[in-house]
Structure 1
């Protein structure tokens, strides 16, 4: 069975690939793609797989943007970190989903469902229904954090955050005034909660607000180096592929 994985976090894609191959050695992961643009190009030049695993929200758009450009009939299993309201839409429409972080036992059930379903549901209508829910959710991005202290609480406003970064498994919010706050969320969780038109994940360690960018320098081999205000603890250099997506994000 030939499988395609569409996932913009390489460590998540590799983990899914490893679990699939452990479950069934006959599964062949033919490609791991990162975004909408790359996937559209791939589909136009390759034979379609037997099954697709795709994250719902990719760096350069929603996975539905791929399906609107490419006509195919192979089944899709979505991977997602959305809340229960959105997940119910997947269940009602009989398209399977895997909630991140993906568990082996859930993946086994999804593969069994794929192998035993005689007539997969009409993907077009399913995507329209789910896309409508996701677009509605996108209007309600997080606006603030409520942070507890020893004997009180205080708020951190999202619009004042210059960037988030991780260090030793701790997530920090760096404000425009250079104050630092610890945030009780992973970078993956923050990506789901923040407006993708404002925040961009430039690397595994950094999620930046567009207002924080002061300079973009060309680096070696098509890479980009970012200068932010406030300054970052370490130099930010994006990979070549990430740099392409970043430039598309800035130019839309």
Structure 2
């Protein structure tokens, strides 16, 4: 707007400004909601990893997450284990895996182990409010930490 200002021109300019401001705010809010994954238009579930990669001297192994029974931290290195208890070294930490894998399928038992729900054969009471988790993999038994036991009971549907 240029001087001298007339009221009619000023009113038109203010209406245009208000329209632009509202459309800008709506666009920014929609973009922010889409970025955060929870827009009003999108009801899609979060995308969890379906495949992991294990890098070895022989090459790269593509591991189907559904076929992995448990993860274990050994000497600071994360290992994935399949039904035959074959070990695969991973680059991800357990904390990273916990964020990347479906929490309905995988549960962190303690600081060093995470298990898949479908791999659990039975739970056994242990001492000090802990549980031994027996897996379908031959002879594999993992123990929960005391503070994770109540959450594991809820996760498997015991409480």
Fold in common (TM above 0.5): yes
Tell me which of 140, 151, 157 is aligned to 1:245: 151
Distance 1:181 1:152 in 2: 12
Distance 2:54 2:145 in 1: 33
Partner of 2:4: none
Partner of 1:167: 74
1:207 aligns with 2:109: no
1:57-206 mapped onto 2 (5 Å cutoff):
130=36, 132=38, 136=44, 138=46, 140-150=47-57, 152-206=59-113
SS of the aligned residue for 1:240 comes to coil
Is the contact made by 2:53 and 2:60 (CA closer than 8 Å) also made in structure 1? Answer: yes
- C-alpha deviation, 1:130, in angstroms: 4.9
Structure (1 or 2) with the larger CA radius of gyration: 2
The TM-score normalised by the length of structure 2 is 0.66
SS of the aligned residue for 1:189 comes to helix
Give CA deviations for 1:178-216 in whole Å, capped at 9, x if unaligned. Answer: 211001100000011100000000111111001111121
SS of the aligned residue for 1:249 comes to helix
Give CA deviations for 1:203-247 in whole Å, capped at 9, x if unaligned. Answer: 111110011111211122332121123233xx5332333111111
Q: What stretches of structure 2 of length at least 5 have no aligned partner? A: 1-27
Is the contact made by 2:131 and 2:144 (CA closer than 8 Å) also made in structure 1? Answer: yes
Q: 1:237 to 1:148 in 2, by over 3 A?
A: closer
Partner of 2:22: none
1:1-40 mapped onto 2 (5 Å cutoff):
none
Partner of 2:142: 236
Q: 1:221 to 1:136 in 2, by over 3 A?
A: same
Distance 1:224 1:144 in 2: 29
Could you list the structure 1 runs, at least 4 aligned residues long, displaced by more than 4 angstroms after superposition. Answer: none
Partner of 1:116: none
* Greater relative CO, 1 or 2 (CA 8 Å, sep 6+): 2
The TM-score normalised by the length of structure 1 is 0.43
Distance 1:163 1:241 in 2: 20
What is the count of residue pairs matched by the alignment? 124
Q: What stretches of structure 1 of length at least 5 have no aligned partner? A: 1-91, 94-125
